[in-house]
Every structure is written in structure tokens, then in C-alpha cells.
Chain A
Amino acid sequence: GAVVSQHPSWVICKSGTSVKIECRSLDFQATTMFWYRQFPKQSLMLMATSNEGSKATYEQGVEKDKFLINHASLTLSTLTVTSAHPEDSSFYICSARRVATNEKLFFGSGTQLSVL
């Protein structure tokens, strides 16, 4: 099966700092990557859709200036949480859709962000 690598797996940062999370498709090319956020005991909430070489599409209520997404290549998308605050503490998880397939998503291992 396809492998999606996500780093870091956990990060602790001070309030006001920025954190970058990387999502890589290791053995396939991904036209589209999705970023989700999951609070404890809750569902995965879609934050944005990232297409290689174009601007990300953000879901309603997600601040695009706070959650910067870059999808510079067919194997890498990054999410930067800028000026992080304690309420941004959450489990962030990416997923990738293989080029030439339009259905199955492959998930990264997730990043637990804790903002002090």
C-alpha cells in the first residue's frame, strides 16, 4: 500500500511561535493532499485541500493566514501553524490522494501539537 509520512509526530511549542508540519508521499505522487484537525474524542475536521502548484482551498472557518499550506511538489505538502496559541493544540493529520486515482486516501501518522 501507499505510504504517507508525516513529521514531526509530536511537538511542544511556546505560545506565539510557528510550527511547520510536513506530509510526504513516499512511494507515490499525490495530486491532492488534505489537512485535517482532530480534537480529543472528536472526528476529523477538514481544514483545507492542497493541490500541487496552486493555492490551497480552505474550509469555512479556517483562517488561511494562520494555517499556511504549501504544496510545492507532488510528494510534499507542509502546514505551518503561525503564531500558535493554546487553542491550536490538537492532532493534525494529513492525507494524500494518488495521481490518476480519485478515491482512496492514504493518511499520515499525525502530529500532536501542544502549545504552552
Chain B
Amino acid sequence: GENVEQHPSTLSVQEGDSAVIKCTYSDSASNYFPWYKQELGKRPQLIIDIRSNVGEKKDQRIAVTLNKTAKHFSLHITETQPEDSAVYFCAASRGNQGGKLIFGQGTELSVKP
């Protein structure tokens, strides 16, 4: 079945440094890749997404890259701030077919002041 692998499971960086989280997916028909930020006990919040016809997308300090050939995508956060500390999830789906969203295992990011 579909599977999404996410690494690392925990990531600790100093404020101002960059953070990179990587995901691989198994379903070659996946074409929609969102990233969510979840704070403890709260709902996941969509922070950025990318579709398979695009290789990179940027929104201020956040960027996502996609390599369809290798079936992996990455989240890049630059100039990290303590409020970036949370659990981040990648996900994949066959978006244009109304497909279900499969999540990675999550990365707990800690940004130290």
C-alpha cells in the first residue's frame, strides 16, 4: 500500500539556523504533497504544499522541493525562530483523483533560543 517515510524524527537547531526535513513516498501516482505543522493537542495546520508539476515552491522562510523521479520531497525552513518549534508532518496523495492523504511519521523540531 501507500507509504510515506519521514526523517529525521527529531531535529534540534539553534535560532537563526536552517532546518531540513525529508520525505519519500511509495505511490508513484501521488501528485499532491502538503506539509503540516502541529502543536501539541491541536489540529494540523497546512503551511505549504506542492503539486507534481512544480519542482520547488517558496513562501517567505519556508520552501519545499520535489524530486518526482526519486519520489522524495523536502521542507526547508530558514532563519528558524522559537515559535517554529512543533511537530511537522509531510503527506502525499493522488490529489487530482480525490485520493486520501497519507502522512509521514512526523518530525519534532525544537528551535533553541
Closest-CB distance, B99 to chain A (whole angstroms): 8
Closest-CB distance, B86 to chain A (whole angstroms): 13
Q: How far is the CA of A104 from the CA of B47 in the complex (A)?
A: 11
Chain A window 8-32, contacts with chain B (Cβ cutoff 8 Å), 1 for yes, 0 for no: 0000000000000000000000011
Closest-CB distance, A44 to chain B (whole angstroms): 5
Query: Does B35 reach chain A (CB closer than 8 Å)?
Result: no
Whether B34 and A104, one on each chain, are in contact in the complex, defined by CB atoms closer than 8 angstroms, is yes
Interface band, chain A: 20 to 34
Whether B42 and A44, one on each chain, are in contact in the complex, defined by CB atoms closer than 8 angstroms, is no
**Which of B32, B97, B104 sits near A43, CB closer than 8 Å?**
B104
Most interface-central of B51, B89, B98 (chain A CB within 10 A): B98
Query: Does B101 reach chain A (CB closer than 8 Å)?
Result: yes
Please name all residues of chain A whose beta carbon is closer than 8 Å to the beta carbon of B32 when the two chains form the complex.
103
Please name all residues of chain A whose beta carbon is closer than 8 Å to the beta carbon of B103 when the two chains form the complex.
36, 43-46
Task: Tell me the B residues contacting A by CB distance below 8 Å.
Answer: 1, 32, 34, 41-46, 49, 51, 89, 93, 95-106, 108
